[in-house]
Amino acid sequence: MADPQKQKDILTRLSDAGEEALSRVASSQATTKLMDSVGGMRERVEDMQRKVRGIDALEKRLAALEKRVDDLAKPKRTTTARSRSATARKSTGTSSPRPPRRSPES
């Protein structure tokens, strides 16, 4: 079997090597750039979440506007249109017809 003292030395050396490797990785410029980009990505994702939450309100407003446009596009029958047509039918013909207009050139 392996000597417990020797095994402890191997584990100590491995942990020291691991710590040294982590230290090198943490102090490298590539790691710094990676951490900066991850932080920036977090901010961008939060901004996107805020914008996406606003889409529901915009969809509701759009639906209301579409309904208003549809209502405005429908022809409405007014009472004035009915009364005009009724008045035209009721005319007795007692008024004299107007003579045709002459153009100013003649």
Of the candidates 90, 93, 94, the residue with the CA atom closest to the CA atom of residue 82:
90
- Whether the CB-CB separation of 31 and 25 falls below 8 Å is answered with yes
Residue 86 has pLDDT above 60, yes or no: no
Asked if residue 59 is part of any domain, the answer here is: yes
Residue 44 belongs to domain spanning: 24-74
Is 33 part of any domain?
A: yes
Does residue 17 sit within a domain? no
pLDDT-based confidence at 91, cuts 50/70/90? low
Domain presence at residue 34: yes
Give the number of domains in the chain. 1
Give per-residue pLDDT as tens, 18-66. Answer: 888 888 888 888 888 888 888 899 899 999 999 998 898 999 999 999 9
Q: Longest Cα pair distance anywhere in the chain, in angstroms?
A: 133
Q: Is residue 14 part of a domain?
A: no
pLDDT given at position 81: 55
